[in-house]
Amino acid sequence: MKNKLLQIILLVSLSPCLLVSLSPCLLVSLSPCLLVSQNLQFYREDIVFTLHENHIETDAVYHFVNVGEKEIKTPLFYPFPENTMELIDSIEVKNEKSGEVIPHRPGKSGIFFNIEVKAYGQASYRVFYRQKLVEKQFTYILTSTEAWNRPLEFANFELCIPMEIHFDSLSYPPDTSYLQKDFQHYLWKKKEFMPEKDFEVWFQ
């Protein structure tokens, strides 16, 4: 089973605007609220995956910018792959700058949490969760970036694998790697990144 890791879906919930789906990932509202979603941009992600024998830990920071003159307060939907919610045994969302723990509420296939970005400002949110593995493979969805209609300015990924676990293949060749404290670290650094395939790892 593919362990599809994360996507981010923007929900602009300014009633009475009608929500429409432009893709499986991004929901925006019809005019005049469309301007709100256009002003909120997702421009960077920094993600560390730490693989263990029976689970994987994902520590991700997502960076947003508001290019408009009004503060944006909106919920985000953070989905998990189909049939994996029951495999997640811990999750925490924080405001990266203040360290404040952000409440989240469950949905059918993910969680909701609120973000705030000041006018012409930036905000970053950290999502950490641990997920059990039922197969020797996992996937992190990258192609959902297309739903934001612009590439990520920066995307940084790190995969940490214990020396006793051997990977079979990676969907993206790493830019560099190093050994530290019995973990092999693989690094990817991307600019203007509009991925055409997902991040996948197969291991033994």
Look up residue 4 and give its DSSP letter. Answer: B
* Residue 21 belongs to some domain of the structure: no
For residues 110 and 79, what is the distance between their CA atoms, to the nearest angstrom?
4
* Residue 126 belongs to some domain of the structure: yes
Look up residue 197 and give its DSSP letter. Answer: S
Whether pLDDT at 3 is above 70: no
Single pTM value for the model: 0.81
* Residue 35 belongs to some domain of the structure: no
Look up residue 100 and give its DSSP letter. Answer: P
* Residue 136 belongs to some domain of the structure: yes
* Residue 166 belongs to some domain of the structure: yes
Q: Which of 20, 21, 29, 126 is nearest to 72 (CA)?
A: 29
Q: Taking residues 99-123, what's their average pLDDT?
A: 92
Q: Which of 200, 193, 198, 197 is nearest to 42 (CA)?
A: 193
Domain CATH number, residue 179: 2.60.40.3680
pLDDT of residue 144: 76
For residues 173 and 189, what is the distance between their CA atoms, to the nearest angstrom?
11
* Residue 19 belongs to some domain of the structure: no
pLDDT of residue 81: 73
* Residue 189 belongs to some domain of the structure: yes
Whether pLDDT at 109 is above 80: no
Which band of pLDDT confidence, cut at 50, 70 and 90, is reported for residue 139?
Answer: confident
Q: 202 or 16, which is more confident?
A: 202
Question: Domain count of the chain?
Answer: 1
Whether pLDDT at 31 is above 80: no
Reported as a single tens digit per residue, the pLDDT across 35-70 is: 446 899 999 999 999 999 899 999 999 999 999 999
Whether pLDDT at 117 is above 70: yes
Provide the domain limits for residue 137: 43-74+81-102+117-203
* Residue 62 belongs to some domain of the structure: yes
